[in-house]
Amino acid sequence: MLDLLVSILLLVGSLFIVVGAFGLVRLPDFFMRLHGPTKSTTLGVGSFLLAAVVHTVDGGFTLRELLIALFLFITAPVSAFLLGQVGLRRHVTSRAPLPEDFPGLRREPCPQGSDRHPFPAIDQPKIDI
């Protein structure tokens, strides 16, 4: 019975990890690619950690697995935020327009015959880490 639960958790974690890696390599844009590892892969590792907790529940329960899960769930959004900030500062091409009230934003005229939104110029961004 316990083995069945461990197996189901392992399969769910494998699915999440493969989906995250697939999104990392197949999505067309850096800001879209940011979603794969930071959400799907983290959920997959969380599922694996739950499987480890269930597997060792009869022979000495420890909190180390939950500690790893807590740490990963805290740090994944922070690293995603830092990498998104890197993409904004280095003017990585994006398919989505910037929000209207982005600080220091200058709109450029849209080039004719282009489906991509032009990346606007930013002078002196006011965001601080």
Question: Which residues here bind other proteins, judged by CB under 8 A?
Answer: 3-4, 6-8, 10-11, 13-15, 17-18, 20-22, 24-25, 30, 33-34, 36-38, 41-42, 44-45, 48-49, 51-52, 55-56, 60, 62, 64-65, 67-68, 71-72, 75-76, 78-79, 82-83, 85-87, 89-90, 92, 129
Gap between the terminal Cα atoms of the chain: 48
Q: Are 91 and 65 in contact (CB under 8 A)?
A: no
SS3 content of the chain, % helix, strand, coil (to 5): 60, 5, 40
- Given the complex with other proteins, which of 115 and 128 has the nearer CB atom? 128
Q: What is the closest distance, in whole angstroms, from the C-beta atom of residue 12 to other proteins in the complex?
A: 10
Distance of CA 34 to the CA centre of its chain: 5
- Given the complex with other proteins, which of 72 and 98 has the nearer CB atom? 72
Whole-angstrom distance, CA of residue 50 vs CA of residue 5: 10
- Given the complex with other proteins, which of 63 and 100 has the nearer CB atom? 63
Q: What is the closest distance, in whole angstroms, from the C-beta atom of residue 125 to other proteins in the complex?
A: 10
What are the residues whose beta carbons fall under 8 Å from the beta carbon of 57, sequence distance 6 or more? Answer: 2
